[in-house]
Amino acid sequence: MRKFKFFIDFDKEEKWLNEMAKQGYQLVYKSFGYKFRRAEPENATIKVDYRIFKNQSDFIDYCTLFEDSGWEHVAGKKSSGTQYFKKMDGQSEEDIFSDKLSKAGKYKRLSAMSIQMATSFLPLLVVLITTDLIDMEAIVNPKQLYLTPGLWELSGATFWRAFLFETPFALMRGISWAVIPVMMILHLFFSYKANRLFEKNINS
C-alpha cells in the first residue's frame, strides 16, 4: 500500500508512522510517498533522522552505529535525506538521539539542504532570462502567447473554440518556466519552517 503525505515536522511524521504500525502497516520504503506492507499490528517506536552521505561506507557505518544501540534502519538511502529507524526491543536505547542538540540538529540539516536546493535553481533562472527564453513582454501582454492567426479578430463561438483550444499551449509557452521560481520559493519556505522547528526543539 502507498500513502502520499509530506512532513517537515519529524515529530508529527513519527507519530503518524507509529499509528500506521498499530493498524498493521509496516514501513518498507520512502521516496515519492510511503510504501507499507501488511503485518501484525504492533506498538512500534519509529524515529526519523535527516542525513545525506557522500559515500556508501559512511552510510553503512551510520546505520551500524544505530543498530548497536538497538535501532533497526528500516527505510532511507545514503542520498535520500530522511532516515527511518525502528526500536528493536525493550533493551534498546530510549531514543536515537543522545541529547536535545543532536535531536534538533536534523532540522538544521534539513534547513541547510533546502537552502542549497533553492539556490541551485538560481543559475538556471538567470540563463533563461538572459537568453530571452523567458518572454517578459508576454507577461505584460499575454495575447502574444497565442499564435493562431487572426484569433483576436474572431467572434462568437468561433473565437471561443479557437481560444480554448490554444490556451493550454499558450500557458505552456508562457508560464512553464514559472516552475523554477515556484520551486525556489517552496524550498526557501521549507528552510524557514525547518529552522523554526530547530529553534523550537532547542528551546523546549
- Angle among Cα 79, 82, 83 to the nearest 5 degrees reads 95
Across the range 182-187, mean pLDDT stands at 91
Q: Are 46 and 96 in contact (CB under 8 A)?
A: no
Q: Which residue has the cell 535553481?
A: 121
Tell me the per-residue pLDDT of 19-62, one tens digit each, with 9 for 90 and over: 999 999 999 989 888 999 998 999 989 999 999 999 999 999 99
Asked whether the predicted pLDDT for residue 93 surpasses 80, the reply is no
Q: Are 98 and 107 in contact (CB under 8 A)?
A: no
Predicted pLDDT at 85: 95
Asked whether the predicted pLDDT for residue 137 surpasses 70, the reply is no
Separation between Cα atoms, residue 56 and residue 43, nearest integer Å = 31
Predicted pLDDT at 125: 81
Domain ranges of the chain: 2-96, 100-204
Separation of CA 127 from chain center: 25
Helices 100-120, 179-203: axis angle to 10 degrees equals 170
Least confident of 47-51, 130-134, 184-188: 130-134
Sign of CA dihedral 49, 55, 58, 63: positive
Predicted pLDDT at 141: 74
Q: Are 105 and 171 in contact (CB under 8 A)?
A: no
Looking at every residue in the chain, the average pLDDT score rounds to: 87
Asked whether the predicted pLDDT for residue 177 surpasses 80, the reply is no
Asked whether the predicted pLDDT for residue 152 surpasses 90, the reply is no
Sign of CA dihedral 188, 192, 197, 202: positive
Across the range 185-197, mean pLDDT stands at 94
Separation between Cα atoms, residue 91 and residue 169, nearest integer Å = 61
Asked whether the predicted pLDDT for residue 92 surpasses 80, the reply is no
